[in-house]
Amino acid sequence: MLPPEASKLLNELGFEWPEGNEDKVFNYGNRWMAYGGEMGGVVTTATDGANTALTNNQGDAMEAFQKSFTKTEGVDDVAKQLQFGSNLVGGCLFVIGVAIIALKIAFVVNLVITVIQIAMAIAAAIPTAGASLGWIPVARLLCKLALDMAINFAISKLLGG
């Protein structure tokens, strides 16, 4: 949670604090990866069972079973695709979690820099007869541009750019 002053500054710049909860995203990623690991065990068990059945039995039914088990979109193929897909989703969630953290860090860094620049401009207002206050809109604009760049960079990286 951000302090109210920081939230107000973000709102004035036209941004909202990234609402993503990286802890939940990492937790979901771990769950998907665990499911992928479980599916790996299922693939091994199913393959071992099918091989045992095929080794110990013969006939038309066993040939049909083998064709059904090993065909595209058969039991073996679907289980392997499920394992791969689960690991892929888990990995993508980890990347999204890292992107959320990176955006939050970029927001905090840019806010701190902007607040320091504004404080320096205010502190220099008396010696410069108020001329330094002209820097405040520039500092806000630079912060907005930096935050825009951070968001665009994160989006392009998530989309594979």
* Residue 120 CB burial class (10 angstroms; 0-12, 13-18, ≥19): middle
The per-residue pLDDT for 161 is: 66
Tens digit of each residue's pLDDT, the chain (161 residues):
667 777 677 777 777 777 778 999 999 999 999 999 999 999 999 999 999 999 999 999 999 999 998 898 888 899 999 999 999 999 999 999 998 888 888 888 877 887 788 788 888 877 777 777 787 788 778 877 887 888 788 778 777 76
The per-residue pLDDT for 37 is: 93
The per-residue pLDDT for 1 is: 61
Distance of CA 132 to the CA centre of its chain: 41
Please give the Cα distance from 78 to 36 (Å, whole number). 13
The per-residue pLDDT for 17 is: 73
All domains of the chain, ordered by start, with CATH?
4-159 (1.20.1260)
Phi, psi of 45 (to 5 degrees): -65, -45
Amino acid at 60: D
The per-residue pLDDT for 59 is: 92
